[in-house]
């Protein structure tokens, strides 16, 4: 019997861990345990995802909550260490690039436990992004690296990671999207918000580089002010963005803009339905670049770089940075020529988690 501790902590982790927990069922030699660090804790940021995606109740919740990066990372490490000592797992599996990923990875390897990283090898080459540090550190200490797109293979090769540790398995986030598409179709979110298919845009923004600076937020408001003249914008707002609008004194500008609807963060199924039927999605998220690629919906990524280049070379994603004029002109281009066919990146076929579980079962 091989004991695997699986870590999730923040919203984008939940759709990655869900298919893995399911895939372990095919392997009776694996005993999976699920640990929630509590990095995200609100109903909208956490509980809803467990309910909708059928993720088993976590075996343990470390309940760390929000804090500075150092404090949050340190608290996760402190609370995870005794759990590793108690359960003596064969593997610790971490997903994505959040603080919970790197914190639990460090604890595992320092106790001599093998570490597997799901979504390894992605690089934005921007060390000002907290997630980039988390990715580089986690990959450098992992024994098994599960890669979602070809750029990941190249990056890990350049960094000298031995080939035998690296497996190109596909994208677990897309496993979840494929498994839930039909269910999401049943969502009433468009009716509730009185939106018609293809007649609205969706925005999500939460990265420090966009929402921690009042000048940047002012520029973003100018962009929305242009775009809303074409189609209304729905903006399910991340709690850190909401807090910043108030703190930086720009809430009024966003809240009083006609055609801009700020709503609470949504559950997975409602948001999937909202994205799938949008005209254009504007975002700084990582996962949304991938999801829109599979949905065949135009995505404008309001960042200077992406760690997921396959969404540009094969998908529907365009990097637009933060230059207002460029964002608006790219928006107009998307409206004039929406994507007709979306290419599916290699192995984004809904079976990534099955591949990972099989490799872990063999390696145990």
Question: Which residue ranges make up the site for ligand UD1 (CB under 6 A)?
Answer: 10-12, 39-42, 45-46, 66, 97-99, 130-131, 206, 238-240, 243
Least distance (Å) between residue 3 CB and ligand UD1: 26
- Is the CB of 248 or the CB of 358 nearer to ligand UD1? 248
- Is the CB of 185 or the CB of 264 nearer to ligand UD1? 264
Exactly one of 40, 117, 206, 238 is catalytic; name it. Answer: 206
Which two three-digit tokens encode residue 293? 């690629």
C-alpha separations of 248 from 245, 265, 321 in Å: 5, 20, 21
Least distance (Å) between residue 35 CB and ligand UD1: 16
Torsion of CA 194, 278, 329, 325, to 10 degrees: 70
User: Is 158 one of the catalytic residues?
Assistant: no
Least distance (Å) between residue 271 CB and ligand UD1: 12
- Is the CB of 69 or the CB of 88 nearer to ligand UD1? 69
- Is the CB of 22 or the CB of 238 nearer to ligand UD1? 238
Number of alpha helices (DSSP H) and beta strands (DSSP E) in the chain: 17, 13
DSSP states along 83-147: HHHHH--SEEEEETTSHHHHHHHHHHHHTT-EEEEEEET-----TTSHHHHHHHHHHHH-SEEEE
Least distance (Å) between residue 265 CB and ligand UD1: 8
- Is the CB of 284 or the CB of 354 nearer to ligand UD1? 284
Q: Provide the 3-class DSSP secondary structure of residue 298.
A: strand
Q: Provide the 3-class DSSP secondary structure of residue 263.
A: strand
Let me know: does 175 contact 351? Beta carbons within 8 Å. yes
Let me know: does 245 contact 217? Beta carbons within 8 Å. yes
How many degrees, rounded to 5, is the angle at CA 187 between CA 254 and CA 228? Answer: 25
Least distance (Å) between residue 53 CB and ligand UD1: 16
- Is the CB of 118 or the CB of 231 nearer to ligand UD1? 118
Which residue from 181, 178, 200 is spatially nearest to 190, judged by alpha carbons? 200
Query: What gap in Å lies between CA 168 and CA 178, rounded to an integer?
Result: 19
Which two three-digit tokens encode residue 232? 């209304």
Least distance (Å) between residue 68 CB and ligand UD1: 8
Catalytic residues: 206
């Amino acid at each position: 019997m091989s004991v695997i501790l699986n870590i999730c902590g923040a919203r984008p982790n939940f759709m990655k861990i869900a298919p893995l927990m399911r895939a372990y069922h095919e392997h009776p030699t694996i005993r999976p345990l699920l640990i929630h660090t509590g990095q995200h804790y609100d109903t909208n940021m956490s509980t809803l995802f467990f309910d909708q995606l059928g993720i088993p109740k976590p075996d343990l919740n470390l309940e760390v909550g929000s804090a500075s990066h150092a404090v949050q990372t340190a608290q996760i490490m402190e609370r995870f260490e005794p759990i590793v000592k108690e359960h003596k797992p064969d593997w610790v599996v971490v997903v994505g690039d959040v603080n919970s990923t790197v914190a639990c990875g460090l604890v595992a390897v320092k106790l001599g436990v093998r570490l597997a990283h799901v979504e390894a090898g992605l690089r934005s080459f921007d060390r000002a992004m907290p997630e980039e540090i988390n990715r580089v550190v986690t990959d450098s200490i992992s024994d098994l690296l599960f890669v979602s797109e070809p750029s990941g293979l190249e990056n890990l090769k350049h960094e000298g990671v031995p080939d035998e540790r690296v497996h190109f398995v596909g994208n677990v986030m897309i496993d979840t999207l494929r498994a839930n598409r039909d269910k999401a179709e049943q969502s009433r979110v468009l009716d509730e918000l009185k939106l018609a298919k293809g007649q609205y845009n969706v925005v999500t923004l939460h990265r420090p580089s966009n929402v921690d600076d009042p000048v940047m937020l002012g520029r973003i408001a100018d962009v929305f002010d242009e775009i809303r003249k074409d189609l209304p914008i729905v903006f399910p707002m991340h709690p850190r963005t909401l807090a910043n609008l108030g703190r930086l004194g720009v809430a009024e500008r966003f809240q009083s803009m006609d055609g801009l609807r700020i709503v609470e963060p949504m559950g997975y199924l409602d948001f999937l339905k909202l994205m799938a039927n949008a005209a254009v999605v504007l975002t700084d998220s990582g996962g949304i670049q991938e999801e829109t690629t599979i949905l065949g919906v135009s995505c404008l990524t309001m960042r200077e770089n992406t760690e997921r280049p396959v969404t540009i070379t094969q998908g529907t994603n365009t990097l637009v940075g933060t230059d207002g004029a460029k964002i608006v002109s790219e928006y107009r281009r998307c409206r004039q020529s929406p994507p007709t066919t979306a290419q599916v990146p290699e192995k984004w076929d809904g079976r990534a988690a099955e591949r990972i579980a099989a490799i872990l079962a063999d390696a145990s």
